[in-house]
Amino acid sequence: MAEAAAVGRTRASTELAGSGAARPVGVVVGASNVSRGIGQVVAAAATALGGRADLHVAAGRGRSFGLDSRVVVRTLPSVLASTLWRTLEATPVAHALITDVGNDLMYGQSPDTVLAWVDAAAARLRAHGARLTLVRLPMVRLRRLHPFGYECMRALLFPRHVRFSWAEALRRAECVDQGLAELARRHDAAVVVPEEVWYGVDPIHIRRAAAAAAWQHIFAAWTVAPSAVRAPHATVVPWWPHLRLACALPAGAGFAGVRVRGAIPVRGRSVTQEVQVWVH
């Protein structure tokens, strides 16, 4: 991990040599929505930070904040146990996003436990000087979910985990959502309330057709400084770096029993804007 992180830092230092401009550092913590929309996530975050940035992403389908998780033959360490924190070390962070809170409820964890894990991640990011943005649960869409739709979603996405009734699952989600609002106040975080139009039949994953607009909205609070302006042109992640990001296993992941070591630096470029991404 240290060697891979050092490679990333060396590349960033080399590219900045002579420019006199330090890249702002951004951190994105999430799960499946981040992984599904990684191209839009990177593009929106980089554009908000002025087009040049170092981004650290701790995400992955089914990612838990406090537990190791498994999807078929792929395993992931928890967010709190990821390589993100060792890689950052004493690095100042300009902005951080926490999203995709909710998997742990379906893993049988109580709302208090889930919120304690999110609080711990937020506190670590704040210790790096990050200005936080926190995305609440898509409650407007979830409240419209039919009990049969809930059972289908649970069977498809969380087949091996605790079975709650729809009423109990909704109660727990409401508790976490209200707790996230309180955490945002405590950590002086910007708050994003997901819009119902972002979701379709699937009540927890952002529709691909809505992804670009949704992520631009989510990253609206990210600016390097109050007087900073956004990149004059939107950052574009070309197809090859986009594919590498989409296929990259987070550091510490396991696939068919093989463990991935170290953060993976992936650089995306458009004409004059540049961003480097570490996947944790």
CATH number of the domain bearing residue 160: 3.40.50.1110
Indicate if the pLDDT at residue 216 is higher than 50. Answer: yes
Comparing 138 with 18, the larger pLDDT belongs to 138
In DSSP terms, which residues pair with 75 in a beta bridge? 70, 254
Q: What is the pLDDT of residue 7?
A: 33
Which of 159, 58, 178 has its CA nearest to residue 114? 178
Indicate if the pLDDT at residue 8 is higher than 50. Answer: no
Indicate if the pLDDT at residue 268 is higher than 70. Answer: no
- Strand, coil or helix: 217: helix
Best mean pLDDT range from 67-71, 149-153, 155-159? 149-153
CA–CA separation, 112 and 110 (whole Å): 5
- What number of residues does the chain have? 280
CB 131 within 8 A of CB 96: yes
Average pLDDT over residues 252-280: 66
In DSSP terms, which residues pair with 53 in a beta bridge? 275
Residue 16 lies in a domain: no
159-196 pLDDT, tens digit each = 777 778 999 999 999 999 999 999 999 999 999 999 99
Percent of the chain with pLDDT over 70: 80
Q: What is the pLDDT of residue 273?
A: 52
Indicate if the pLDDT at residue 32 is higher than 80. Answer: yes
One-letter amino acid of 262: G
115-139 pLDDT, tens digit each = 999 999 999 999 999 999 999 999 9
Indicate if the pLDDT at residue 18 is higher than 70. Answer: no
Average pLDDT over residues 11-23: 46
Residue 147 lies in a domain: yes
Q: What is the pLDDT of residue 245?
A: 79
Tokens of 2: 């240290």
Residue 168 lies in a domain: yes
59-110 pLDDT, tens digit each = 998 899 999 887 766 789 999 999 999 999 889 999 999 999 999 999 999 9
The chain-wide mean pLDDT, for the chain, equals 83
Domain count, the chain: 1
Residue 12 lies in a domain: no
Residue 17 lies in a domain: no
Structural domain range at position 250? 25-279
Sheet holding 74-76, edge to edge: 69-71, 74-76, 254-255, 258-259
- Strand, coil or helix: 84: helix
Q: What is the pLDDT of residue 261?
A: 66
Residue 13 lies in a domain: no
Q: What residue ranges in 49-93 does DSSP mark as E strands? A: 52-58, 69-71, 74-76
Residue 169 lies in a domain: yes
Residue 199 lies in a domain: yes
CA–CA separation, 183 and 223 (whole Å): 21
